[in-house]
Amino acid sequence: MRKLIVLAVVLFTAIIASQISSCNSSTSDSKAGDTGDSVKKVVARGEYLANYVSGCIDCHSKRDFTKFSGPVVAGTEGSGGFIFDEKLGLPGALYAKNITPDKETGIGNWTDEEVLRALTHGINKKGDTLFPLMPYPNFNRIAKEDLLSIIAYIRTLKPVKNIIPDRRLMIPIGMAYPAGILQPSIDGNVRPPETDKVKYGEYLTRMGDCGTCHSPLTEHGPDRSRLFAGGYRFDLGTFKVVSANISPDSATGIGSWTEDQFIAKFRNNSADANVNRNPGAENSIMPWTLFGKMKDDDLKAIYAYLRSVKPHNNKIEKYPK
Ligand code: HEC
Ligand code: HEC
């Protein structure tokens, strides 16, 4: 058991670290355009990012796994609910918190700075350290303007009164805190220009936390050199699923996929007809209903980035018998 715990901790810090390492230098871009943005535009950007790119709404809402890929239950957006526990390889049980503007049970009384600190450094308003399953090591590398737009948007969610239980961890949180990879200040973070597809794709991939689910957990911990090789097993009770190899290996990954096929996968898997059918045991934890609504250009950028990473030959059986 202890071994599993250590593995899980290493997983969430090592993978994130390896995803970060290659992404520091990008040129400054559209600052001038952004300063003139209206509040509406900022909230619209935040709505897009929080729902379809960065997974806030995915993790922080109730999901209905009687349908394919567990679409978010309407009315629960941001109110918490998803439980991450031992069945997902975690050292205990973590509860995605209520991040609606409810003053008592949500973040209604938090300042922007307080939310920002939770998002980028994993310290909440009370001063408690968050477990890095909440992807603050990733958000620590995201441009402040994007994070502020997300915060502006979550403040527009319907306030929901919902008390979330305290987490139950089997390790001291200090053991999991990835202090070494967090930048003290995020002021220098820039959003790469969208014309630089690979860099922008890497930025979106980091926001979407694709690397955490899509990397293998081996007996000796996560294989840092095998980012995107797939192989993470999820047990959600009613079904089990293994993450796919999305590295550019032609035989076992997405190396032979065209850009059109890549986009079609997201569109098909998020289409109502597909989501509403009974998936039985062939379900997925991948939030297709959300990621499937990413803009064409953003999926193209992610595709371009995934083509540029190291290919890994790793055959995955998504639904092992
Ligand atoms: C992979 C799932 C996941 C994603 C994606 C995610 N969160 Fe979280 N978040 C969590 C979990 C789990 C916790 C609680 C961690 C703990 O208890 O240690 C949390 C905690 C928080 C907290 C602290 C709340 C409190 O009361 O302490 C805030 C604020 C927050 N998340 C906002 C966000 C926002 C905004 C986004 C998107 C930019 C986001 N989260 C994305 C899982 C996630
Ligand atoms: C919560 C975990 C999780 C996250 C986050 C996640 N995925 Fe997945 N993904 C999976 C699982 C599990 C599968 C295999 C089952 C399926 O096809 O849905 C999968 C399948 C896929 C596939 C299909 C590959 C194939 O061979 O059919 C693609 C493409 C993909 N993911 C891309 C991404 C990208 C890009 C991101 C980030 C924007 C991402 N995933 C984020 C868990 C995740």
List pocket residues of ligand 2, CB cut-off 6 Å. Answer: 205, 208-210, 213-214, 234, 241, 243-244, 246, 254, 265, 284-286, 291, 302, 318
**pLDDT score, position 218:** 57
The pLDDT tens digits of the residues spanning 19-64 come to 444 343 334 444 545 555 689 999 999 999 999 999 999 999 999 9
**pLDDT score, position 24:** 37
Tell me the average pLDDT across 169-194.
94
**pLDDT score, position 289:** 97
**pLDDT score, position 144:** 98
**pLDDT score, position 95:** 96
pLDDT classification of 291: cutoffs 50, 70, 90: very high
Contact 93, 85 (CB under 8 A): yes
Residue in the structure block whose two tokens are 């670290």 = 17
Highest mean pLDDT among 60-69, 171-180, 223-232: 60-69
Alpha-carbon distance of 85 to 92, in angstroms, equals 5
Contact 130, 122 (CB under 8 A): yes
Tell me the average pLDDT across 87-110.
94
Structure tokens at 297: 């250009």
The pLDDT tens digits of the residues spanning 235-253 come to 998 999 999 999 999 999 9
| Of 113-122, 169-178, 243-252, the least confident | 169-178
CA of 54 to the centre of ligand 2 (A): 14
The pLDDT tens digits of the residues spanning 210-225 come to 998 998 875 444 566 7
The pLDDT tens digits of the residues spanning 132-167 come to 999 999 999 999 999 999 999 999 999 999 999 999
**pLDDT score, position 263:** 98
Contacts of 212 (CB under 8 A, 6+ apart): 11, 12, 15, 16, 135, 232
Residue 84 has pLDDT above 60, yes or no: yes
Tell me the average pLDDT across 225-236.
91
How big is the CA angle at 312 (ends 307 and 314), to the nearest 5 degrees? 130
Residue 277 has pLDDT above 80, yes or no: yes
Alpha-carbon distance of 154 to 226, in angstroms, equals 34
CA of 175 to the centre of ligand 1 (A): 19
Residue 69 has pLDDT above 60, yes or no: yes
Tell me the average pLDDT across 284-312.
97
Mutate to test the pocket of ligand 1, among 97, 100, 169 (most ligand atoms within 8 A of CB): 97
Which ligand is located closest to the Cα atom of residue 287? 2
Mutate to test the pocket of ligand 2, among 65, 214, 277 (most ligand atoms within 8 A of CB): 214
Nearest CA to ligand 2 atom 5: 210
CA of 223 to the centre of ligand 2 (A): 18
Q: Work out the number of other CB atoms within 10 angstroms of the CB of residue 171.
A: 15
pLDDT classification of 290: cutoffs 50, 70, 90: very high
Tell me the average pLDDT across 173-182.
90
**pLDDT score, position 36:** 56
Mean pLDDT of the chain: 88
Alpha-carbon distance of 241 to 245, in angstroms, equals 13
**pLDDT score, position 100:** 98
Contact 190, 29 (CB under 8 A): yes
Ramachandran quadrant class, 142 (left: phi over 0; alpha: psi -120 to 50; beta: rest) = beta
